[in-house]
Amino acid sequence: QRCLSLIKATKFLNAYITVAEETALKQAEESEERYKRGQILGDLDGVPVAIKDNFSTAGIETTCASNMLKGYIPPYNATVVQKLLDQGAVLLGKTNLDEFAMGSGSTDGIFGPVRNPWSYSRQYREKCVQNTQTENEDSNWLITGGSSGGSAAAVSSFTCFTALGSDTGGSTRNPAALCGVVGLKPTYGLISRHGLIPLVNSMDVPGILTRCVDDAAIVLGVLAGHDPKDSTTVQDPFKPFELPSFIDASKLCIGIPKEYHAPGLSSETLALWSKAADLFENAGARVKEVSLPHTQYSIICYHVLCTAEVASNMARFDGLEYGHRSSMDKSTEVMYAATRREGFNDVVRGRILSGNYFLLKQNYENYFIKAQKVRRLIANDFVNVFNGGIDVLLTPTTLRDTIPYVEFIKEDNRTRSAQDDIFTQAANMAGLPAITVPTAVSERGLPIGLQFIGRAFREQQLLTVAKWFE
Instruction: Select from 18-26, 86-94, 163-171, 373-381 the region that touches ligand GLN (CB under 6 A).
Output: 163-171
DSSP element (H, E) containing 206: strand 205-210
CB closer to ligand GLN out of 198 and 323: 198
Binding mask 167-186 for ligand GLN (x = CB under 6 A): xxxxx---------------
CB of 382 vs ligand GLN, minimal distance in Å: 18
Provide the annotated active-site residues: 52, 147, 171
CB closer to ligand GLN out of 171 and 398: 171
State whether the Cα torsion 9-15-16-17 is positive or negative: positive
CB closer to ligand GLN out of 170 and 447: 170
SS3 assignment, position 166:
strand
CB closer to ligand GLN out of 46 and 207: 207
CB of 176 vs ligand GLN, minimal distance in Å: 12
Alpha-helical (H) ranges within 12-64 are 21-37
Q: Does 44 bind ligand GLN (CB under 6 A)?
A: no
Which of 28, 152, 199, 390 touches ligand GLN (CB under 6 A)? 199
Q: Does 421 bind ligand GLN (CB under 6 A)?
A: yes
Phi, psi torsion values for 55, nearest 5 degrees: -100, 135
The alpha-carbon radius of gyration of the chain (Å, integer) is 21
**Which positions from 225 through 244 interact with ligand GLN, judged by CB under 6 A?**
none
CB of 94 vs ligand GLN, minimal distance in Å: 16
CB closer to ligand GLN out of 87 and 402: 402
Euclidean distance between CA atoms 224 and 221, whole angstroms:
6
Maximum CA pair distance of the chain? 72
CB closer to ligand GLN out of 46 and 170: 170
For the sheet containing 434-441, what is the strand order? Answer: 16-19, 90-95, 48-52, 162-167, 205-210, 182-185, 434-441, 447-453, 392-396, 253-257, 286-290
Euclidean distance between CA atoms 337 and 329, whole angstroms:
10
**Which positions from 90 through 119 interact with ligand GLN, judged by CB under 6 A?**
101-104
Instruction: Select from 121-129, 166-174, 360-368, 380-388 the region that touches ligand GLN (CB under 6 A).
Output: 166-174
Strand locations in 259-363 (E) = 286-290
CB of 68 vs ligand GLN, minimal distance in Å: 17
CB closer to ligand GLN out of 82 and 417: 417
CB of 192 vs ligand GLN, minimal distance in Å: 17
The count of residues interacting with ligand GLN (CB under 6 A) is 15
Q: How many CB atoms lie within 10 A of CB 42?
A: 15
Euclidean distance between CA atoms 119 and 128, whole angstroms:
10
Q: Which of 47, 59, 52, 38 is nearest to 88 (CA)?
A: 47
| 56 prior amide bond cis, ω within 30 | no
Binding mask 128-147 for ligand GLN (x = CB under 6 A): -------------------x
CB of 181 vs ligand GLN, minimal distance in Å: 16
Q: Does 77 bind ligand GLN (CB under 6 A)?
A: no
Q: Does 417 bind ligand GLN (CB under 6 A)?
A: yes
Q: Which DSSP string corresponds to 372-428?
A: HHHHHHHHHHHHHHHHTT--EEEEESSSSS--BHHHHTTS-HHHHHHHHTTTTHHHH
SS3 assignment, position 25:
helix
Task: Measure the N-to-C terminal CA separation of the chain; round to a whole number of Å.
Answer: 30
Phi, psi torsion values for 58, nearest 5 degrees: -60, 125
Which of 24, 50, 176, 306 touches ligand GLN (CB under 6 A)? 306
Euclidean distance between CA atoms 243 and 218, whole angstroms:
9
Euclidean distance between CA atoms 210 and 214, whole angstroms:
9
CB of 155 vs ligand GLN, minimal distance in Å: 17
CB of 312 vs ligand GLN, minimal distance in Å: 15
Q: Does 54 bind ligand GLN (CB under 6 A)?
A: no
CB closer to ligand GLN out of 124 and 452: 452
Binding site for ligand GLN (CB under 6 A): 101-104, 147, 166-171, 199, 306, 417, 421
